[in-house]
Structure 1
């Protein structure tokens, strides 16, 4: 998923247990005082255009985050990533966790359009969940980070929704932001039909007036190399935008998001640093 191509996914800390990331939804401790408050809220009329919402007990006026899981644009489910949304919600946020349509049923830009629609719908409904629609950020891991950065940087997607200016901050974990040429199955199937491939790359849309961006990457990531985050951070900074880059030594692609789980949280302060970024950028208006 980088310009050097998608290599076999790194197994990381979960490999020892022979467990995919989704297994964390069924095993291990969960953060207390936070729960899924509603399930399968529609943001469109298709089966995968729904989202679950997590929030601390008694939430009122909290910053709102829309979190997109990864899966190479062709897999994944909100039912497998509730643990990650719950962990983030426990840091003091209302968190919407959308599904989105995937390859082969759709191709680019449909899944990005879904991300924008979900973000707008989350802003509309945030007050009913105890969230603040005026303090909303987007975040994602892997392919989900690609979605988060495109809806935050390429104005066209949110401009087509009812909430064009709603995104105030964006965080990407292990995201592919510059992965030309399309030379592996995942990128070919999702983007190979595009006449202008640059339109698929978040790096293309770096701009001086971008919302604040946080980029995190493991230096041992061989699925999406840390160069993607380094390049996007450098481009944003060169343009005068606010960008923060955090590289985590020895963490793999899966490790980075797995550290959201209490089981692996001591491995690196990823959750704490993402949360700190959002509290700083989504603070009181």
Structure 2
């Protein structure tokens, strides 16, 4: 396919010469930060241009990386004041390939240099100076220069990233995709690509490029051909047409302008087929020029930093480490951990010093974290539950995506056992809300603990202090109770989207504030599927929206032991659900009463009276912000 495209390219070029009417030999500087700001103010008068200065950053140095006759192309570097070999970012400015200047992104370069990176802002020939592929040949030359000068410039040559905004983002994505093809020069190693609102395909249903009816489009001026005159060259200049298994990972940071993302999802699908990492963050309702303004600046810097801190886990040795725990231990805050497909037989601990961490699997079904652990056995040798689960969390502001976590103790164990237990787990103790003392089984003797096949088995156990946790497109499974246990009644905030949670009693049992949407709950007991503890604040709530419940015949929906508040919105129960409303277990006196609310919930085979709509709160208003308010920005 690629060889045919190249042949067609040469054929087309032979039939029709590039149109050079737009060549003036002078760089166009009409696109500048101030003019972009003045334009954006018409829609939002509150916008301010981003500024950033840091004393720790070395004064700018400029290097000539390429000469074309008398024309010099340069790189400006922003860097820490030291001579350590550091991760490096090569950045290309935007401007429709015909205008713009590297100095537009000094604030971004300084902010990233403050975080420890060497950042090079690149000049390249614009379409008023030279037509495609000149700009890409310049980009490749800049990359080659950094590799050649790595020792002199204190660059870690194995950690060179490329990035760009708008046209520069398109160039960065293409540069990353052609290193195994030598299209614009000898291929060089790229660790990762950051594309900020640059298109992936010029000819695509989502693209706005090539409309020359009113005036010559930027892309037509860039290529010197319209897309009908020479579609092959337009495709050659599109990253979508160069995806291969050798490509680096890519982060997309996008505005709310859809045409600036043309081809992105097709590109991601192709990358996914090769098991390559891609990620997207969209600044909702932002203009294309979002990168220039304070409102979106800090988040953009954080996302780039997080991506450049990425560690890849692969059991076959093709990543940075072989185990998930190694990645957590070697990593730092504000980091992405990408896990390639495989079954990882390990516990994972994320301690209280870790925050702003993303753990992303290659695929939900392909990445399985599995361990055999009964809570009771763990607690007979340990003072608390940190380690009683498969995924054990003390950190905050964490995200987990496309993973399966299984505690298989109850799935492989055949019968209950009794074990010696000399600590508090083997004694009758007064439970407290945050210490979570273990319940005693009927007939247990002091100094012993009965371990039930269907007892507590955490796939996930979070500890006090672990808050603002996100779980998306994940599966959590156990053969016992409390499969998903995010437990911090005082400060806990937890969000679930498109997750499947399977287990026994109280298989989903958050404390504090929780919001689950588009999730499936699979219940294998007759006591309760869901549970909540909201005893710390009257406003604490567990909200389930657009969720589905299935289970063994006669399973009950839910229960609570302390103050609780449930909202079930647009939920669907299967026919096995018992005619039993969510109930209070025990006789604890409640200050706020029985608070269980339903909106448009139904059961296959016929509804029960108790889950009819009983609140005036509109379903469309029940969302993330309604649940967490200002507690979770």
TM-score bucket of the superposed structures, by smaller chain: 0.7 to 0.9
For 1:190, the equivalent position in structure 2 comes to 222
Offset at residue 56 of structure 1 (A): 1.4
Aligned ranges for residues 202-217 of structure 1 at < 5 Å? 202-217=239-254
1:273 pairs with one of 303, 307, 322 = 303
What does the per-residue CA deviation read over 1:25-49, in whole Å, with 9 as the maximum and x for residues that have no partner?
xx8442441134411x111113352
Query: SS of 2:66's equivalent?
Result: coil
Aligned ranges for residues 51-200 of structure 1 at < 5 Å? 51-155=75-179, 156-157=181-182, 160-161=185-186, 164-180=187-203, 182-184=210-212, 185-193=217-225, 194=230, 196=232, 197-200=234-237
Query: SS of 2:120's equivalent?
Result: strand
What does the per-residue CA deviation read over 1:132-154, in whole Å, with 9 as the maximum and x for residues that have no partner?
12211101111101111111101
Is 1:234 aligned with 2:269?
Answer: yes
Q: Are the aligned partners of 1:65 and 1:136 in contact in 2 as well (CA < 8 Å)?
A: yes
Report the structure, 1 or 2, having the larger helix content. Answer: 1
How far apart, CA to CA, are the structure 2 residues paired with 1:36 and 1:278?
23
Bigger Rg over Cα? 2
How far apart, CA to CA, are the structure 2 residues paired with 1:264 and 1:135?
29
Offset at residue 252 of structure 1 (A): 1.8
Offset at residue 227 of structure 1 (A): 4.3
Q: Are the aligned partners of 1:152 and 1:211 in contact in 2 as well (CA < 8 Å)?
A: yes
In the superposition, the TM-score normalised over structure 1's length comes to: 0.80
Q: Are the aligned partners of 2:102 and 2:121 in contact in 1 as well (CA < 8 Å)?
A: yes
How far apart, CA to CA, are the structure 1 residues paired with 2:185 and 2:89?
20
2:295 pairs with one of 245, 261, 264 = 264
How many residues of Structure 1 are paired with residues of Structure 2 in the alignment? 260
Query: SS of 2:128's equivalent?
Result: coil
State the Cα RMSD in Å. 3.0
Query: SS of 2:126's equivalent?
Result: coil
Instruction: Indicate how the Cα distance of structure 1 residues 44 and 12 shifts in structure 2: closer, same or farther if over 3 A, else same.
Output: closer
Instruction: Indicate how the Cα distance of structure 1 residues 144 and 281 shifts in structure 2: closer, same or farther if over 3 A, else same.
Output: farther
Offset at residue 233 of structure 1 (A): 2.0
Q: Are the aligned partners of 1:73 and 1:190 in contact in 2 as well (CA < 8 Å)?
A: yes
What does the per-residue CA deviation read over 1:239-283, in whole Å, with 9 as the maximum and x for residues that have no partner?
43221122221122111x225xxx435x76221011111121599
How far apart, CA to CA, are the structure 1 residues paired with 2:199 and 2:176?
15
What does the per-residue CA deviation read over 1:43-69, in whole Å, with 9 as the maximum and x for residues that have no partner?
111335211111012251110110111
For 1:244, the equivalent position in structure 2 comes to 279
Q: Are the aligned partners of 2:78 and 2:113 in contact in 1 as well (CA < 8 Å)?
A: yes
Query: SS of 1:103's equivalent?
Result: coil
How far apart, CA to CA, are the structure 1 residues paired with 2:39 and 2:295?
9
How far apart, CA to CA, are the structure 2 residues paired with 1:115 and 1:42?
13
Higher relative contact order (CA 8 A, sep 6+): 1
How far apart, CA to CA, are the structure 2 residues paired with 1:135 and 1:232?
23
Offset at residue 158 of structure 1 (A): 7.0
Deviates more, 1:28-37 or 1:203-212: 28-37
Q: Are the aligned partners of 2:131 and 2:222 in contact in 1 as well (CA < 8 Å)?
A: yes
List gaps (5 residues or longer) in structure 2. Answer: 1-35, 204-208, 313-318, 322-633
Q: Are the aligned partners of 2:85 and 2:154 in contact in 1 as well (CA < 8 Å)?
A: yes
In the superposition, the TM-score normalised over structure 2's length comes to: 0.38
Report the structure, 1 or 2, having the larger strand content. Answer: 2
Q: Are the aligned partners of 1:116 and 1:158 in contact in 2 as well (CA < 8 Å)?
A: no
